[in-house]
Amino acid sequence: MFGTILNSWALFSGFGLIMLAHALQGTLLNINAVFYNFSDFEIGYVFTGYFVGFLFSSIQCPKLIKNVGHIRVFAAFASLGSIAILLHWVIVNPIAWLIFRMITGFSFAAIYIVCESWLNDRADNQTRGQLIGFYMIVLYFSMCAGVMLVNLKATTEAHLYILTSLLISFALVPILLTKKPAPDFTTPKFLSLKELYSKSPMAFVGSFAIGMIYSVLFGLMAVFGAKIGLSIFQISILVFVNTFVGAIFQFPIGKISDKFDRRSILLILNLIAIGSLIFAFLFGSISFYVLLVFIGIHSAVSLPYYAVVISHMNDFLEKEEIVSASSTLTLVNALGMVAGPLLASGFMAYFGAYGYFIYMIVVYAIVAPYNFARIRVGRTSDIYEDNTPSMIVPRTTSPVGMQLATDQIINKIEEEEDNSDER
């Protein structure tokens, strides 16, 4: 395994620097949007821009990579992302920031697709799980570290914008200097939205809903912190805890979901999320540490939610359908992400800063009854008698990256089938 990781050092180094920049710029722009007195509506559509760009890139970039290659696409969009963050400091205007965020979202999605498809090419049946694990370590460690960088300088000065640009630019160096050939590339296959819903209604609805949560949870948390008067350091700690706690709970919750009906697990996660957010709304103003506790509890159940949704969908699919269905599910999730900041900003405009929690409570409260209704329908899958193995999916996963994770699941299913035949 270590040999495979060492052989991919350029990929992991470049990706780690990108994620440092991603976390830093998200927190930086959140804080400064409040400082520059953007209205709640303006904040909503500005930060929706990133997810609009991400969605279009997820659809279009695989074709571009196929035509011009991994390295050129990585270099082009890393350069574009590096320029975009500097433009945020040069032109302080919500419409301009919307355009810059769309460019950033498109660029970063392209980078994720390059990294994940490259990693998939390096993996085989023996090393794929370890590579995914190391990929996630790099992803979440870099994001946690990137958030803390916001404390280095005043957010309104040019230093942090320049630092973000430098990190993205430095990411080019190991990628462009690698001797390893770029992999062959195949564009992902997609299942139609209608087919996906018919296969697993709960996965479809759950993916869209958690997209509405994720975009607000990670995209507007620093905005919420700034609006209630937290210091820069407190905001960075809040975002750090949100990322770190959610990451460490993915694996244990995934394993628990392997043993029970995943719809029941999703409902339990949903109810815990509602409870933690209600307590954050009611008691979060008492103390920063009280707020931190309830944010951590919510993160522990919300970040693994998407992985459980995907695993639940796989329970109702033939293994030949898993890759195409998973690719489509990422687009459903991205559509939810596009809607999230726009709707959440309306809640924050009407209810004040704590409308941030009210919005998420409402989303969960809509999904919970549907979740309960799907449980009452009963298990309809006749494909697998037991749950498929759980999937642990990075938050940044693109349709191409999903293939990396689903290939691992398919291998496990085939192993279980072989073992069953031997018995």
pLDDT tens across the length of the chain (423 residues): 556 666 667 778 888 899 999 999 999 999 999 999 999 999 999 999 999 998 888 888 878 887 887 788 888 999 999 999 999 999 999 999 999 999 999 999 888 888 777 777 666 656 666 677 778 788 888 999 999 999 999 888 899 999 999 999 998 888 777 666 666 666 667 778 888 888 888 989 999 999 999 999 988 999 999 999 999 999 999 999 998 898 888 888 888 888 888 889 999 999 999 999 999 999 988 999 999 999 999 999 998 898 888 888 888 777 677 777 877 888 898 899 999 999 999 999 999 999 999 999 999 999 999 999 888 776 544 444 566 666 666 655 666 666 666 666 666 666 665 555 555
For tokens 């090419």, the residue is: 121
Rounded distance between C-alpha atoms, residue 110 and residue 175, angstroms: 14
Rounded distance between C-alpha atoms, residue 142 and residue 135, angstroms: 11
* Domain spans of the chain, in order of start: 2-422
When the candidates are 3.30.230.10, 3.30.559.10, 1.20.1250.20, 1.10.3720.10, the CATH number that belongs to 2-422 is 1.20.1250.20
Rounded distance between C-alpha atoms, residue 99 and residue 144, angstroms: 26
B/e letters for 314-334, b = 16+ CB within 10 Å, e = fewer, are: bbbbebebbbbbbbbbbbbbb
What is the reported pLDDT for 194?
A: 86
Rounded distance between C-alpha atoms, residue 220 and residue 364, angstroms: 17
What is the reported pLDDT for 188?
A: 66
In this predicted model, what pLDDT tens digit does every residue of 110-167 receive, in sequence order?
888 887 777 776 666 566 666 777 787 888 889 999 999 999 998 888 999 999 999 9
Q: Find all residues with CB under 8 Å of 341, minimum gap 6, and list them.
A: 43, 44, 45, 47, 48, 51, 215, 216, 219, 220
What is the reported pLDDT for 297?
A: 96
What is the reported pLDDT for 415?
A: 64
What is the reported pLDDT for 397?
A: 60
Quote the tokens at residue 390: 């759980």
Distance of CA 227 to the CA centre of its chain: 24
What is the reported pLDDT for 114?
A: 80
What is the reported pLDDT for 225?
A: 94
B/e letters for 95-123, b = 16+ CB within 10 Å, e = fewer, are: eebbbbbbbbbbbbbbbbbbbbbbbbbbb
What is the reported pLDDT for 328?
A: 85
Give me the count of residues in the chain. 423
- For residue 67, how many C-alpha atoms fall within 13 Å in the half-sphere facing its CB? 5
Residue 170 is given by DSSP the state H
Q: CA of 397: how far to CAs of 108, 230, 393, 401, in Å? A: 11, 31, 7, 5
**Is the CB of residue 221 less than 8 Å from the CB of residue 242?**
yes
Rounded distance between C-alpha atoms, residue 1 and residue 156, angstroms: 44
Rounded distance between C-alpha atoms, residue 189 and residue 323, angstroms: 7
Q: Find all residues with CB under 8 Å of 99, minimum gap 6, and list them.
A: 49
Rounded distance between C-alpha atoms, residue 372 and residue 202, angstroms: 10
Quote the tokens at residue 327: 């690719």
What is the reported pLDDT for 156?
A: 86
Angle (CA) 68-71-76 rounded to 5° is: 80
What is the reported pLDDT for 180?
A: 62
Rounded distance between C-alpha atoms, residue 47 and residue 43, angstroms: 6
- pTM summary value: 0.87
3-state secondary structure string across 365-394: HHHHHHHHHHHHHCCCCCCCCCCCCCCCCC
Tally Cβ neighbours within 10 Å of residue 134: 18
Q: Where are the alpha helices (DSSP H) in 178-287?
A: 193-199, 201-219, 221-227, 232-248, 250-257, 262-283
